[in-house]
Amino acid sequence: MAMQSDSSAGSYDFAALGEESGELERLQLQARRSAELELQLLRRMGLKDGLDVLDLACGPGVITRLIAESHPSSRVTAMDLNEALLEQAKSEAVAVGLNTIHFVRGDVYQPPLPEASFDFIYARLLFQHLDQPSRALDQVRRLLKPGGCLCIMDIDDDWLTLVPEPEGFRAFTQAAARAQAKQGGNRRIGRELGRLMQQSGFVNVHLNVETITSCQLGMRAFLDITLGFKRLLLQGDELEAALRTLADADALIDAPDAWALVGVFLATGEVSSE
């Protein structure tokens, strides 16, 4: 049975994709394959034990569990708009004995959480989907304690490179970007994050680009993580062309000299303690 669509989901609506799409598995694999690297990056951005932490748009909760397991003295809250994803995250946390995570269903534009209640908020691959990112930042800022930190991890498709580049690859990524933009998203949000945070009143704003390669993840995992969602955005002739391009990209998995790189944008900003 199809799930009800989430009206504030922007350019990503898990419910609208349908249960048969394999989207839950894609989300889980995407997070698991980069989890340890992601944890290292979060610690560099200021995550440490003993904090009140919010995982914003937690999805199936893979990163939420990693944060809770590796920071046992922290108080971790996970929020997502989609009820099915939130229930999945809850059940998997309970299955591994993590009973202290607080799960909340909520919308980033109207989060049902008290003001000034978090030291560290993490938004992973969320802002590329928001049609009102500044409004979301204003709400997130309200949730942080004085001196608290927001860390956003997101993408900028101009930093995605495959070598050798499959025929039609740029046309494929551009078509996906156009399709996501029609739904309110922005596949080049990475470069804008620092400016948006500064405009929303964050201080000590920093924007870093972390390059992640096929050498680190393996080519198969790299392609799954960077290209999987793009295919779901396309229909008709554009989808047919994309499938041909993706088949050519898959040939890189067994090509010994193939190389791939993506730039992951990490933006941090704090709420003034004055």
Q: Which ranges in the chain belong to alpha helices (H)?
A: 14-17, 23-33, 35-44, 62-70, 83-95, 133-143, 169-182, 193-199, 214-217, 219-232, 236-250
pLDDT number for residue 2: 31
- Whether 3 is in a domain gets the answer no
**Cα–Cα distance measured from residue 245 to residue 1, given in angstroms and rounded to the nearest whole number:** 32
Residue 188 identity: R
* Cα end-to-end distance, the chain, whole Å: 51
- Whether 6 is in a domain gets the answer no
Closest CA to 192 of 262, 272, 127: 127
List, in order, residues 6 or more apart from 263 with CB less than 8 Å away. 155, 156, 159, 160, 190, 209, 210, 211, 212
**Cα–Cα distance measured from residue 97 to residue 92, given in angstroms and rounded to the nearest whole number:** 9
Q: What's the average pLDDT block by block, 10 residues per block, for the chain (274 residues)?
A: 44 57 68 80 95 96 94 97 93 92 97 98 96 98 98 96 96 96 95 98 97 93 90 92 95 96 97 89
**Cα–Cα distance measured from residue 143 to residue 120, given in angstroms and rounded to the nearest whole number:** 10
- Whether 9 is in a domain gets the answer no
**Cα–Cα distance measured from residue 176 to residue 157, given in angstroms and rounded to the nearest whole number:** 10
- Number of helical H runs and strand E runs in the chain: 11, 8
- Whether 120 is in a domain gets the answer yes
pLDDT, tens digit, for every residue of 151-204? 999 999 999 999 999 999 999 999 999 999 999 999 999 999 999 999 999 999
- Whether 66 is in a domain gets the answer yes
Beta bridge partners of 51: none
pLDDT number for residue 3: 32
Domain housing 76 = 14-270
Structural domain total, the chain: 1
Neighbours of 110 (CB within 10 A): 10
Q: What's 168's domain CATH number?
A: 3.40.50.150
Give the DSSP H or E segment for 117. none
Q: Which two tokens stand for residue 175?
A: 């078509």
Neighbours of 105 (CB within 10 A): 13
Judged by DSSP in three states, 70 sits in helix
Reported pTM: 0.89
- Whether 2 is in a domain gets the answer no
- Whether 4 is in a domain gets the answer no
- Please answer whether residues 167 and 235 qualify as being in contact, where contact means their C-beta atoms are separated by less than 8 angstroms: no
pLDDT number for residue 219: 96
- Whether 141 is in a domain gets the answer yes
pLDDT number for residue 5: 40
- Please answer whether residues 21 and 15 qualify as being in contact, where contact means their C-beta atoms are separated by less than 8 angstroms: no
pLDDT number for residue 4: 33
